[in-house]
Amino acid sequence: MNPLQIKRGPLNIAVVLSLLALLTFTWIRGGIAATPGDTRDSQGRTMGFNDVFSAEHYGILLKQANWHSALRQLNGDDSFWNAEGLQNWGLVAAHFVLLAMLSRAQPRTIRRFLYLQPFLFFLGWIGFWFLPLAILDLVWARTSDREGFIDIPYIAITSQGAWFLACGFIFWQLRPSRSRHHGG
């Protein structure tokens, strides 16, 4: 039996989780873009450029987010034709390409596709380390502010980090079995 047939479910789940992370980060960034900096929480704290976000601020920005503002954030600097926009939309496409490959391609072909990912999505190297820190900050430290979401290519860095995790998991699962190479 083809080993890909046995492992297809968890591999597809890894890609879908990465795609959900991309959509979540895009929605957060869209919410920030749709929320004025002078918006206040119930304690009177604003959501300005260097104002630390409270838990209530996150609720506000998630309510303010809409698909129009979120999808505009995928473009990066106001147009599709810039490095950030190409990276973001390329990553969206890569998810669907990998899902298609997982349904039809041989493990060796998929591994070749996965070899390219660190070169195509180079911000993932930062995101691989930044993503856990960003989640830790959101849950525990709570020091994030508007600047941290706007001054960096936030969607590209965080979602490429999630993409690297998914690709690494899939690559690991598709590695050749040692027993097949040693007569076992």
Does residue 12 lie in a domain region?
yes
Does residue 183 lie in a domain region?
no
Number of domains observed in the structure of the chain: 1
Does residue 184 lie in a domain region?
no
N residues, the chain? 184
**CA distance readout (Å), 183 to 16, 151, 177, 178:** 36, 54, 11, 9
**What confidence tens digit (pLDDT) does each residue in 49-70 have?**
888 888 889 899 999 999 999 9
Domain coverage including residue 50: 3-177
> For 38-42, 87-91, 131-135, 136-140, which range has the lowest pLDDT when averaged over its residues?
136-140
- The band of 116, judged by pLDDT with boundaries at 50, 70 and 90, is very high
> For 23-27, 88-92, 121-125, which range has the lowest pLDDT when averaged over its residues?
121-125
Q: What is the pLDDT of residue 183?
A: 46
Does residue 169 lie in a domain region?
yes
**What confidence tens digit (pLDDT) does each residue in 120-161 have?**
999 888 888 888 887 787 777 678 888 888 888 889 999 999
Q: Which secondary-structure segment (H or E) carries 81? A: none
The pTM of the full predicted model, rounded to 2 decimals, is 0.85
Does residue 135 lie in a domain region?
yes
**CA distance readout (Å), 35 to 29, 131, 146:** 10, 23, 10
Does residue 94 lie in a domain region?
yes
Phi and psi at residue 52, in whole multiples of 5°? -65, 135
